[in-house]
Structure 1
Amino acid sequence: EEKEEKEEKEEKEEKEEKDEKEEKEAKEKDQQEEKDVQEQEEEKDQEEEGDQEPEEDNEEEEREEKNEREDKTIEEEEKEQKEKKVEEQKEEEVDQKEEEGEEQEEKVKEQKEQEVDHEQNEQKRKQEEREAEEEQQHKEGEEEKQTEEEQKEEQQKLEGEQKEEQEDGNREEEDKQAADKEAEVQERGGAEAGAEGAKEGASEEALPRGAEGGQEPLEAADGGGVPRPPPAEAGRGEG
Structure 2
Amino acid sequence: MNVFGVDIGGSGIKGAPVDVLRGELTQERFKVLTPHPATPDAVADCVRQVMEHFGTPAGPVGATFPGVVVGGTTRTAANVAKDWIGRDAAGLLGERLGTPVTVLNDADAAGLAEMHFGAGRGRRGTVIVLTFGTGIGSAVFTDGKLVANTELGHLELQGHDAETRASTRAKEEEGLKWNHWARRVERYLAHVEMLFSPELFVIGGGVSRKAAKFLPLIEGVSAEIVPAELENNAGIVGAAMAAAAATGAAVPASAA
TM-score (norm 2): 0.13
Give the structure with higher Rg (CA). Answer: 1
Higher relative contact order structure (alpha carbons within 8 Å, sequence separation ≥ 6): 2
TM-score (norm 1): 0.14
The structure carrying a bigger strand percent of its residues is 2
The structure carrying a bigger helix percent of its residues is 1
